[in-house]
Structure 1
């Protein structure tokens, strides 16, 4: 039977995820693949606020705008890569994450690095999506 939707799951025998992600996200054959550039915390006026949580809020707003431009939703997201230059306020990020995904999480990777493309950028989030 041909797969007709994106499937997210945690396989038997694997430890539970340590965060809000899924171990495997499978896309059906012949799905359209969308890969975004890393989205940052720049606001609509082109300014990057100093506080990390404001950057997180703007980054999620920018992700939603990019998805909407291609008629995609969080259901289409298959992989998220997050890079940050300072400690993430997980309560804040998780609230944005829950607003976007509910409890239907994609695959995810998080890395702390020394710097991003501009010195004022504290977080960058890349999204992979597929349309069936």
Structure 2
């Protein structure tokens, strides 16, 4: 049976966070690509703090996964964009509720602004679902 595999090659430095250097997706997998998920709540409000936005963003990610019959093991790549420093202790608390040790590949970038001035963080996901 084919499966998504993740590895950190021994000839590379170890990851500096909770991610994997390489994620391999077998052929014939169905790919899902999200728009960047932001910290908006169900009523359309964007809270003023980055931690509240992180919390809402992870809620939105979980809703995406549920809507497509996926879970965290299907996530193959995460791109994170933030306009201010991320509180990593808080972020990894949220991250740890989604991922255990089977981490996806990840990129993080700090930028000057996102689509709206009140948005402080945006997380884009790539996921793969294997044919049964």
**Is TM more than 0.5 here?**
yes
Under TM normalisation by the shorter chain, which class is it? over 0.9
Alpha-carbon distance in 1 for matches of 2:78, 2:24: 14
1:74 — aligned with what?
Answer: 72
* Corresponding residue number in structure 2 for 1:55: 53
Counterpart for residue 89 of structure 1: 87
SS at match of 1:95: helix
Structure 2 residue corresponding to 1:42, chosen from 40, 43, 61: 40
Q: 2:126 aligns with which of 100, 106, 128?
A: 128
CA distance in 2, matches of 1:23, 1:65: 26
State the TM-score, normalized to the length of structure 1.
0.97
Q: Which runs of 4+ in 1 moved over 2 A?
A: none
**Pairwise CA distance, 1:104:** 1.1
Q: What is the match of residue 29 of structure 2?
A: 31
**TM-score, normalization by structure 2:** 0.97
RMSD after superposition:
0.7
Q: Point out the more displaced range, 7-16 or 109-118.
A: 7-16
In structure 2, runs of 5+ residues without a counterpart are none
